[in-house]
Amino acid sequence: MEEKCISNSRRCYKQWFGFMVLIMSFCVSYVDAVWPMPQMISSSMARYTLNPREFLFQYSSGSSAQSGCSVLDSAFKRYFPLIFTDYTRPRQHDEWFRFPFTVVVHVERAECEDYPDADSSESYKLSVRSGQAALRAETVWGALRGLESFSQLVYQDDFGEYFVNETEIEDFPRFQFRGILLDTSRHYLPLHAILKTLDAMSYNKFNVFHWHIVDDPSFPYQSSTFPDLSRKGAFHPSTHVYTQIDVKRVIAHARLRGIRVLAEFDSPGHTQSWGKGQPGLLTPCYKGTVPSGTFGPVNPANFSSYQFMTRLFKEVTSVFPDSYIHLGGDEVDFTCWKSNPDVRGFMLKMGFGTDYTKLESYYMENMVNITKGLNKTAIVWQDVFDYHEKLCCSSLSVVEVWKGGCYLCEVRRVTKAGLRVVLASPWYLDQPGPTHDWARYYTIWPLAFKGTEQQKKLVIGGEVCMWGEYVDATNLSPRLWPRASAAAERLWSDERMTSSVIDAYPRLVDFRCRLLRRGIQAEPLFVGHCRHEYQGI
């Protein structure tokens, strides 16, 4: 039915409307409206009144994290207004209440000043009873996920009273890597748009911000080592750049929400903006025997290219604390390399003949080794694997599958080679489309390929890609949400519990309204309304 309803025909609309009427006939209960769906949730109709003036977050006496834990202290302050959306009176910290409702948090391992990483546990247990919610987690990152789930359990009646139902949750993510890619080169995204996206990611339990920070159109990253890269390569050298302070602010904002920041500096292709501030880096293209005045990808025949990359990535890896870094490696046009006599000479010297995929493999091998020397794990786009499956795999460890077609066939090939996979192919959301196509992003099964259990364990997750050709701050949020929320549930939840679009629809409608109340400009799924409409916050 989904494929039939992509057109704008009157018949198609009637089919979709009938489908939605059927779905809307199902009643969503407040207690089940947690998105993404926990691994296990049970609740009763017993409900408890919450009074914002008699509500406390506190650490358990045996918790490794205590007052002063930056991650959780910040989360307690952040979640109070998210839970009590309409409460505007300042909290009276010095007032004593005899029977406050208390959310007691117990953390096994205090990682309060650390950054989330690829192995961070996000599991938690939440028990809501009369007068208290007990939240237990191995790490502060799991506690953050539990606080988000608790915040979604709280609801209001028609008179504005707050309630929470008796609930038991045991939860953990299905996949460890759950990402959102933003492209800040094709259109510059102001800092507030990035921070707002990080907020929305935390509500959806995404945990990786893949920052595709530079590309052909512009180089907005302000490098301290090579300041001319942004001075000459950005759309504007002062208004359309990310300073070192900006980058630190993004990383700090993400950390407090349990989100890793994965930086991508894509090369050797997608580097036209680099060449403006770093002469000699790109390959001069030739027309016959003379230079044409244009430039191609990074010149892999020059030793100076690797010297430059080593210095740049030494800076980048010191700025971005995550253990992973994305090296790109996609869509390299060999035309310019083929035209350049120095590159052709280098090919002969290396014994590559006329196979330019070997030249790219040589370049990427060097890049992976550079980052490995900086104690970083490299991620590359699938092109690098595709060109030379045997040659590439001596140094690669994580491949991002992005091309269309039989993407699960590619996942099977990559995992058969013993490499980890991040799946992006089915979650490209940069093109506009009707919001009701969220279902096609929901009914994705990342492990539905023929392979061993060991192969399937190598699929570490997936990500939503928001490329920037037609996206800037004016349409970023509505194009992302709630369609990206469909991917969020697929990457977090047990697919056996969340395979039904009909069951998911009312929960997603409810969650979309919650996003609106939190200031996220998410598109509507269909005809209807929210009890609290979006006010343009």
List of residues 6+ apart from 475 with CB closer than 8 A? none
| Cα gap 523→169, rounded to integer Å | 29
111 catalytically annotated: no
Beta strand pairing status for 132-137 and 282-287? Answer: unpaired
Cβ atoms 512, 525 nearer than 8 A: yes
Beta strand pairing status for 155-156 and 162-171? Answer: antiparallel
Among candidates 383, 374, 378, which has minimal Cα distance to 402? 383
Beta strand pairing status for 55-59 and 420-423? Answer: unpaired
> Rounded to whole angstroms, what are the CA distances from 316 to 43, 211, 310, 319, 325?
47, 12, 10, 5, 9
Q: For the chain, report the end-to-end CA distance as a whole number of angstroms.
A: 36
List of residues 6+ apart from 225 with CB closer than 8 A? 311, 312, 314, 315
β partners of residue 325: 378
What is the identity of the amino acid at 78? R
Residue of 331, 360, 453, 523 marked catalytic: 331
List of residues 6+ apart from 388 with CB closer than 8 A? 357, 358, 361
| Cα gap 391→387, rounded to integer Å | 9
The values of phi and psi at residue 7, to 5°, are -75, 170
Start-end of H helices in 374-472: 382-387, 389-392, 407-416, 438-442, 453-457
Cβ atoms 477, 200 nearer than 8 A: yes
List of residues 6+ apart from 356 with CB closer than 8 A? 334, 337, 338, 347
Cβ atoms 472, 194 nearer than 8 A: no
Just list the catalytic residues.
Answer: 331
